[in-house]
Amino acid sequence: MLQITRMNGISCLKHQQVLPVSPEEAWQFFATPANLNEMTPAWLTFEIRSVLPEKMYEGLMIQYRIRPFLRLPMGWLTEITHVRDGEYFVDEQRKGPYRLWHHEHHFEPCPEGVRMTDLLYYDIGYSFLGVLAGKLFVHRMVREIFAYRQSVLEARFNQSAVG
């Protein structure tokens, strides 16, 4: 399930996905910052520019470079602001293309394995260019990124659940 709602210029994406693995296995994958590469579409030309630890922690700053539009490079700096092992973590943009980026990742056990819920609040700005960019490509790109991630996770974890 993926839905985006908007209120007062802030977009809220809610995405849920159930994976047939233990919450521990899902958490271990998501708590490894280098795995972000695997979940990001190639067309973003996503490049992590920081030295990454094996496991994320509160206060971790991660620098990226992306090329989301016309292959123009954009710097992005996020901070892992909250972590409760096995339950949730939050990343927030500190510098980058959005006026606001607050992304919550929640994990809860369910009979089928683990239910992951993403809550993403983002704002691209109120200027004419921000509104136009949102209508022309930003909202579509955000949807495509989450659809890509869903397919990657299904392939990875459905395969590991069978094998």
Cα separation, 96 vs 63, whole angstroms: 10
Please give the mean pLDDT across all residues of the chain: 88
- Residue whose C-alpha is closest to residue 64's, from 101, 29, 89: 101
Residue, of 161 and 86, whose pLDDT is higher:
86
Query: In this predicted model, what pLDDT tens digit does every residue of 41-54 receive, in sequence order?
Result: 988 888 999 999 99
Q: Which domains does the chain have, with CATH numbers?
A: 2-162 (3.30.530.20)
The whole-number pLDDT of residue 162 equals: 42
In the prediction, which pLDDT does 89 show? 98
Ranking 33-37, 72-76, 80-84 by mean pLDDT, the lowest is: 72-76
